[in-house]
Homo-oligomer: A and B are copies of this chain.
Amino acid sequence: MSSKAFAIVAGVGPGTGAAVARKFAASYPVVLMARNPDNYESLVKEINGNGGKAIGISTDVADASSITSAFGKIEKEFGGAGCAAAIFNASGRFVRKPLLDLTEEEFTAGFDVSCKGAFLFSQATLPLLLKSTDSGKYPPTLIFTGATASLKGSAMMSSFATGKFAMRALAQSIAREFAPKGIHVAHAVIDGVIDIPRTKDWLKDMPPEAKISAEAIADSYWYLHTQPKTTFTNELDIRPMLEKW
């Protein structure tokens, strides 16, 4: 394990993914994945410019061959190194529609990214995480970003909620199989609006404490990563102080 362990963040955009990448980049080389390179290019530059190390890989997590190709590049770049932390933060297209108006493709869009993508990503990262169980300051960590819809299937939200419920099942199943091997698997239920450019105009009449800070989510993920083998959190919820629940 001479090479330095790295971290992978799948689903890097201007919000949680970027904040998580910045946070983990302070300690590890980071691999940033997004379908559209626009989502990670300036961040890769920023991290490399600040003395960190980052590479970006255009990846469609819902596509096995894209995942294979991405992890081939990782192998080339970090050959032999283990993975210290892998964060699955990808979300598919968000569809909100009456059930009878959904196409099959719209309905399965939630599962394809949130669950099949999470599965493909996990299959690719778990062998790299297993390499790091005895090295590294912290237990290797696999984190999934969930949502309110991980626990509640609301009307018009069947595409999103089926994907998020299924991802939670996957996270539990992986935790029960891999925690005894030393891998920390966690699932975060993000319950509220995240404060990112896309949501700038949401909840406009409310104070800032009505939205979740992406940086604070990143701090939470980092905290999860630092938990020792004796004290794994599998699930935590996160919401702003003004959220109704």
Interface set of A (CB-CB < 8 Å, partner B): 64, 98-100, 102, 104, 107-108, 111, 115-116, 119-120, 122-123, 126-127, 139, 149, 152-158, 161-174, 176-180, 182, 184, 195, 208-209, 211-213, 216-217, 219-220, 223, 226-243, 245
Does A241 contact B179, Cβ atoms closer than 8 Å? Answer: yes
Of chain B, the residue at the smallest CB distance from A162 is: B166
Does A170 contact B162, Cβ atoms closer than 8 Å? Answer: yes
CA distance A153 to B216 in the complex (A): 26
A145 CB, min distance to chain B CBs, angstroms: 13
Complex partner residue of A116 from B100, B107, B177, B233, CB under 8 angstroms: B107
CA distance A111 to B242 in the complex (A): 29
Does A237 contact B231, Cβ atoms closer than 8 Å? Answer: no
Of chain B, the residue at the smallest CB distance from A176 is: B155
CA distance A233 to B220 in the complex (A): 9
Contact partners of A123 in chain B: CB under 8 A: 99-100, 102
A15 CB, min distance to chain B CBs, angstroms: 13
What are 28 A-B pairs at a CB distance below 8 A? A99-B123, A99-B126, A100-B127, A104-B116, A104-B120, A139-B241, A149-B169, A152-B172, A153-B171, A153-B173, A155-B173, A158-B169, A165-B168, A179-B241, A179-B242, A180-B241, A180-B242, A184-B241, A212-B231, A213-B230, A219-B227, A220-B233, A229-B241, A230-B241, A231-B239, A234-B237, A235-B236, A236-B236
